[in-house]
Amino acid sequence: MFVILVYDVEQKRVAKVLKTCRKYLYWVQNSVLEGEITEANLVKLKTELEKIIHRDTDSIIIYRFRTTRYSAIETLGIKKGGEENIL
């Protein structure tokens, strides 16, 4: 399936969350990742993320799409991050 993941976590956990997400997904920019992922890997990713984030302050949203990718992606303002910025 295709997923879009958006995280909103405390600054000190951003690097770890991003690193974990990037094992499975492509980093679009800022706090957004996307990619094709299997159900099994999505379960793995969620399990790993749940060990990192603090449930009382951090938040992660995962949009799941059965088959389709988006038809276009647009950006206003700067591009913060993305695949060219390797951590």
DSSP designation for 78: -
Token digits of residue 87: 């951590």
Pick from 56, 84, 86, 87 the residue near a second copy by CB under 8 A: 56
**What CA–CA distance (Å, rounded) separates 14 from 16?**
6
Residue 43, Cβ neighbours under 10 Å: how many?
11
68 binds a second copy, rule: CB under 8 A: yes
Q: How far is the CB of 53 from a second copy (least distance, A)?
A: 5
Residues in touch with a second copy (CB under 8 A): 1, 4, 6, 8-9, 28-32, 46, 49-50, 53-68, 70-80
Q: Which residues are annotated as a binding site for Mg(2+)?
A: 8
